[in-house]
Chains A and B, each alone.
Chain A
């Protein structure tokens, strides 16, 4: 037939076309393996299941921290249809513009088909309102529960720490273990025991569709890994004692640490200014965190482990023990003090007592807190010929102090502990260009000069004295629930440190009796408890701060250390109240009340009034408003320079007259000195002449 041959060409064309298709199919389906993987990625969603965090108990199995269910209002933008926006806004107390912007945020964040938190961690009122009316909002909105930390006693903000979303640095450090959106302990015990508290995350494999909607479990959940709940922590903390301590420290700057000497377990730890731990949980976090950070009183700073204070007279028992053990004095060593120390030729330091015989031996010297005596035995410790020179003697003295836990990190189970300062002799060499002697840093002997310590270190030193030479590293956690051999985190805290047990018991006995005398007839009479032998020491440390370019002497820090009972010590306490005056005025009563509460389990009726008096006193330093003003206005200026937005700086420009005045307490002549955090006093050229040392 006509053109019939062309039918073969047509057939050939068909065969070629089909061959091309089959070759491509072979390529896609047989050769290339990436499509299986891509399909898996497409359709399988790995959902991380978060277990509830572990609970933290106090010594009496009361919950310091536990979890509570909060609710998020979730929205799936795609399913929001015919919703009465006005009604929803009314329920949530927002306006329509806010509603629109949140919807937009949700769409940008997770797309139209995935639920996103419209409002997370609803307040109880909003939750109640929504719970009743959620059905009116259609399928686009629903409530999702979420466990959140809660503090039944409302105490322990500083040592418990808070949890927060991981940041990129944590993710990078964890080697990909954490993923964005995870919550992690950011400070305190939450951070230190993160691995215990968080438990084991689980993974659920779910099938998702093209709109990323989850439509069911993959492979009937055969691959799923179940989540393991976080384990509980049992601590030494006494919730009621902690509560009392926090109450006493209201409106005060400083810190309280109470330790059980036998175990090193921390019974209470407070840092002032304090805040309610609930302020940093759930929805309150965003509201409060920024406020706390900008507050110049630094409420987030845990002063119990980071505050560095000159111990002042509270150091004297330690100085006495060092001198005794070095053999430079005996317990009966006495000093004729007439109210001043003349050993260095400048009649400093002064002494509160001038009656003869108040420093007739070590015990008396401690009881009367004789500055001359301890300055002198400090010099004896350094200058003793057996060390072969003051500087070597100083190094030896420093080692002793380090053994007492001063100037070193103790290793408490909290992150970012500070070590205080017992300067190395090289520091003095540098400051005094190698020419210094035991007179130069004379006031080290009475806990001043360049010596600083944290309240934790002071409390731990008391434990050492109470235990007559040994201590356990101070720590919070007694045990972990279901502890196994693999939980090594607590091992360092169970090891007894016999650092100073070589000091003879008699030496300790002398010092301890001296400290008891302080309570019986010395400066710490406020701490006397009926039927209990209390040993204590007060301290009052000078305090300087640079405000408006001038060095201002502030009111003294009130320091108090103690332990009780004398023969079977159950509690050792260190209290520091900044700018509060004598050690016996504020720090002493606080410690006394805490001892009474802990040892007797209750307070006498008349003492409850005392609690109210102390709690009701506002001792926040007077310089705070001025410094806050300077900082805020500087920030406003910086913001203005950055953005030309004058809205912040305006109020500082207009109301100059309203600015808080520079505090006028004891102004000292302006001098340029190196400023360190927490009022460390650095020696100036003529400091020995100018400085008046208070001692009690």
Chain B
């Protein structure tokens, strides 16, 4: 940035700025590659605001202006208004219920005239700030269960509201704040247990339930035996192992089926199964809607169902890129709309097809560099507020990148979350810009102790 303007540039992390600009540039280029249609004049259409890449360019310019304003703001402003932002975020989320309009299966979008706005997206900033504010309270003892529960509550309240708005993908993002809490002292066991439950759930979906039950019992028996031997034959420890076993089998036999049957929507069940490459078992197909679909195509192959088609086409697009890719605007898959949503959630395909393994790996390394840079920034903060906020940003970015890329290459379920700074979309670009620029602003004042 402009080094002659000390008001803004002083203490600003130039690394982060460059990485930000680089990624936003890649994003505009990728949106261009995905949506440019042959006869359009390239330069003129870039500034016309009629094409998607042109819009993305203007979104970027707008976001950059907002970023500069943030840099001009006093850091204390954020600590002072963190709770207010949280309240505003929740309020706007609530506004969706009466005023939201349905767009592409989600009900989480507000419209003001021609502008669409997704509060759940924006709320990430609020949660980052609020969590930072809460954890940086004087006398905060995060080892207390009560504080942990309140922190989890702050993070998960918007998640619950997002789920109510059929935005499971965005809701899951809020679970990434557990990384922040882990950094701030949340016991590792909670993460381990949470992760284990995740693994158990996936295993439940993949493995036949009886086989899994037997496997769990065998593992329990072996573990119990060793624990018993090592713990010098205390019977209490056996009880714990048995309880863990009961919980595991309970989740596997009753918990997961119950959630699939009663809590989740059919499309969500379908998405999860499509990710692991299985058909949805009959017991989870419910409601007339599913029955109708079944009736319409009695012999429909799995490839033809919508979600599965996305992943298949996405893998074809990325896989066909090869080592060096087909080149900008040369990809047949992304150019001719084989991959759905390719300018937004599946933008990674465009890079994969156009620039191959070299391109995708380079992009991932840039992202990794960004994450590491932000962790470094977080760790050099003096104030807890800044550190917690920085980790919040890192967590959100990490979750978005990992889940988005993994879903395009068939490693994660298709939950519609954008690739940070690259996917097409104004709200998303603006949100990530705000997240980064507040971090840069706070980092510039890292010598101050903010509360």
Binds A, one of B23-31, B44-52, B398-406, B439-447: B398-406
| CB pair B319 A35 closer than 8 Å | yes
Binds B, one of A14-22, A263-271, A571-579: A14-22
Distance, CA A116 to CA B38, complexed state (A): 27
| CB pair B183 A29 closer than 8 Å | no
Collect the chain B residues with CB atoms within 8 Å of residue A22's CB.
360-361, 364
Q: Tell me if A's interface is mostly helix, strand, loop or mixed.
A: helix
Is there a chain B Cβ closer than 8 Å to A30's Cβ?
yes
Is there a chain A Cβ closer than 8 Å to B157's Cβ?
no
Collect the chain B residues with CB atoms within 8 Å of residue A42's CB.
313, 316, 332-333, 338
- Contacting B319 at CB < 8 Å: which of A2, A13, A28, A209? A28
Is there a chain B Cβ closer than 8 Å to A34's Cβ?
yes
| CB pair A15 B368 closer than 8 Å | yes
Interface flags for A29-52 (1: CB within 8 Å of B; 0: not) read: 110101110111011100000000
CB distance from B8 to the nearest CB of A (A): 28
Collect the chain A residues with CB atoms within 8 Å of residue B379's CB.
1, 4, 7
CB distance from B6 to the nearest CB of A (A): 30
Contacts A7-B183, A13-B179, A25-B318 given; 11 further ones with Cβ under 8 A? A4-B379, A11-B375, A20-B406, A24-B406, A24-B409, A24-B411, A29-B318, A29-B360, A39-B317, A42-B313, A210-B336
| CB pair A29 B352 closer than 8 Å | yes
Distance, CA A35 to CA B315, complexed state (A): 8
Is there a chain A Cβ closer than 8 Å to B356's Cβ?
yes
Is there a chain A Cβ closer than 8 Å to B182's Cβ?
yes
| CB pair B368 A36 closer than 8 Å | no
Could you list 28 examples of A-B contacts with CB < 8 Å? A6-B183, A10-B182, A10-B375, A10-B391, A14-B372, A14-B398, A17-B402, A18-B367, A18-B368, A20-B411, A21-B406, A21-B409, A25-B364, A26-B357, A29-B322, A29-B360, A30-B357, A34-B319, A38-B319, A39-B319, A39-B333, A42-B333, A42-B338, A43-B336, A44-B332, A207-B332, A208-B336, A210-B336
CB nearest to A24 among chain B residues: B409
| CB pair B368 A211 closer than 8 Å | no
Q: Given A2-B185, A3-B184, is A28 in contact with B318 using a C-beta cutoff of 8 Å?
A: yes
Q: Given A22-B361, A207-B336, A209-B337, is A7 in contact with B368 using a C-beta cutoff of 8 Å?
A: no
| CB pair B336 A36 closer than 8 Å | no
Distance, CA A26 to CA B356, complexed state (A): 10
Distance, CA A42 to CA B323, complexed state (A): 20
Distance, CA A24 to CA B340, complexed state (A): 21
Q: Given A11-B372, A14-B371, A209-B336, is A36 in contact with B364 using a C-beta cutoff of 8 Å?
A: no
User: Which positions 173-215 of chain A face chain B at CB distance < 8 Å?
Assistant: 207-211, 215
CB distance from B188 to the nearest CB of A (A): 8
| CB pair B320 A36 closer than 8 Å | yes
CB distance from B210 to the nearest CB of A (A): 30
Is there a chain A Cβ closer than 8 Å to B378's Cβ?
yes
- Contacting B183 at CB < 8 Å: which of A10, A15, A17, A44? A10
| CB pair A29 B319 closer than 8 Å | yes
Collect the chain A residues with CB atoms within 8 Å of residue B405's CB.
21
Q: Given A7-B183, A21-B405, A26-B357, is A43 in contact with B332 using a C-beta cutoff of 8 Å?
A: yes
Collect the chain A residues with CB atoms within 8 Å of residue B425's CB.
none
Distance, CA A202 to CA B398, complexed state (A): 53
| CB pair A36 B185 closer than 8 Å | no
- Contacting A7 at CB < 8 Å: which of B320, B364, B378, B398? B378
Distance, CA A215 to CA B39, complexed state (A): 12
Distance, CA A543 to CA B391, complexed state (A): 106
CB nearest to B38 among chain A residues: A216
Distance, CA A24 to CA B361, complexed state (A): 11
Q: Given A21-B364, A209-B338, A210-B338, is A28 in contact with B315 using a C-beta cutoff of 8 Å?
A: yes
| CB pair B336 A38 closer than 8 Å | no
CB distance from B162 to the nearest CB of A (A): 23
CB distance from B50 to the nearest CB of A (A): 20
User: Which positions 406-426 of chain B face chain A at CB distance < 8 Å?
Assistant: 406, 409-411
Interface flags for B77-92 (1: CB within 8 Å of A; 0: not) read: 0000000000000000
| CB pair B183 A30 closer than 8 Å | no
| CB pair B411 A21 closer than 8 Å | yes
CB nearest to B356 among chain A residues: A29
Collect the chain B residues with CB atoms within 8 Å of residue A26's CB.
357
Is there a chain A Cβ closer than 8 Å to B321's Cβ?
yes
User: Which positions 373-406 of chain B face chain A at CB distance < 8 Å?
Assistant: 375, 378-379, 391, 394, 398, 402, 405-406
Distance, CA A10 to CA B340, complexed state (A): 33
Interface flags for B334-378 (1: CB within 8 Å of A; 0: not) read: 001111100000000000110011001100100110011001001
Collect the chain A residues with CB atoms within 8 Å of residue B323's CB.
29-30
Collect the chain B residues with CB atoms within 8 Å of residue A209's CB.
336-338
Collect the chain A residues with CB atoms within 8 Å of residue B338's CB.
42-43, 209-210
Distance, CA A43 to CA B317, complexed state (A): 11
Distance, CA A215 to CA B337, complexed state (A): 11
Please list the 5 inter-chain residue pairs (A to B) with the smallest Cβ-Cβ separation, ordered nearest first. Answer: A35-B319, A39-B320, A209-B336, A43-B332, A29-B357
- Residue among A1, A20, A35, A44 with the highest chain B CB neighbour number at 10 A: A35
Collect the chain B residues with CB atoms within 8 Å of residue A35's CB.
315-316, 318-320
| CB pair B333 A43 closer than 8 Å | yes
CB distance from A183 to the nearest CB of B (A): 31
CB distance from B386 to the nearest CB of A (A): 13
Distance, CA A26 to CA B185, complexed state (A): 36
CB distance from B196 to the nearest CB of A (A): 15
CB nearest to B339 among chain A residues: A210
Distance, CA A15 to CA B391, complexed state (A): 16
| CB pair B352 A25 closer than 8 Å | yes
Distance, CA A28 to CA B402, complexed state (A): 17
Q: Given A3-B183, A11-B375, is A25 in contact with B337 using a C-beta cutoff of 8 Å?
A: no
Collect the chain B residues with CB atoms within 8 Å of residue A2's CB.
185
Distance, CA A21 to CA B348, complexed state (A): 12
CB nearest to A11 among chain B residues: B375
CB nearest to B379 among chain A residues: A7
- Contacting B182 at CB < 8 Å: which of A1, A6, A21, A40? A6
CB nearest to B323 among chain A residues: A30
Collect the chain A residues with CB atoms within 8 Å of residue B360's CB.
22, 25, 29
Distance, CA A40 to CA B336, complexed state (A): 12
Distance, CA A22 to CA B371, complexed state (A): 16
Distance, CA A1 to CA B352, complexed state (A): 41
Distance, CA A7 to CA B182, complexed state (A): 9
Q: Given A15-B368, A36-B322, A43-B333, is A25 in contact with B361 using a C-beta cutoff of 8 Å?
A: yes
Distance, CA A483 to CA B32, complexed state (A): 56
CB nearest to A38 among chain B residues: B316
Distance, CA A281 to CA B364, complexed state (A): 63
| CB pair A30 B320 closer than 8 Å | no
CB distance from B266 to the nearest CB of A (A): 24
User: Which positions 24-83 of chain A face chain B at CB distance < 8 Å?
Assistant: 24-26, 28-30, 32, 34-36, 38-40, 42-44
CB nearest to B312 among chain A residues: A38
Distance, CA A40 to CA B398, complexed state (A): 34
Distance, CA A18 to CA B179, complexed state (A): 16
Collect the chain A residues with CB atoms within 8 Å of residue B378's CB.
7
User: Which positions 76-133 of chain B face chain A at CB distance < 8 Å?
Assistant: none
CB nearest to A8 among chain B residues: B375
Collect the chain B residues with CB atoms within 8 Å of residue A24's CB.
406, 409-411
| CB pair B183 A210 closer than 8 Å | no
Distance, CA A6 to CA B388, complexed state (A): 13
- Residue among A26, A210, A216 with the highest chain B CB neighbour number at 10 A: A210
Distance, CA A30 to CA B356, complexed state (A): 9
Collect the chain B residues with CB atoms within 8 Å of residue A14's CB.
368, 371-372, 375, 398
Distance, CA A207 to CA B179, complexed state (A): 47
- Residue among A3, A18, A32 with the highest chain B CB neighbour number at 10 A: A18
CB distance from B38 to the nearest CB of A (A): 8
User: Which positions 146-195 of chain B face chain A at CB distance < 8 Å?
Assistant: 179, 182-185
| CB pair B332 A39 closer than 8 Å | yes
Distance, CA A28 to CA B405, complexed state (A): 13
CB nearest to A215 among chain B residues: B336
- Contacting B375 at CB < 8 Å: which of A7, A39, A216? A7
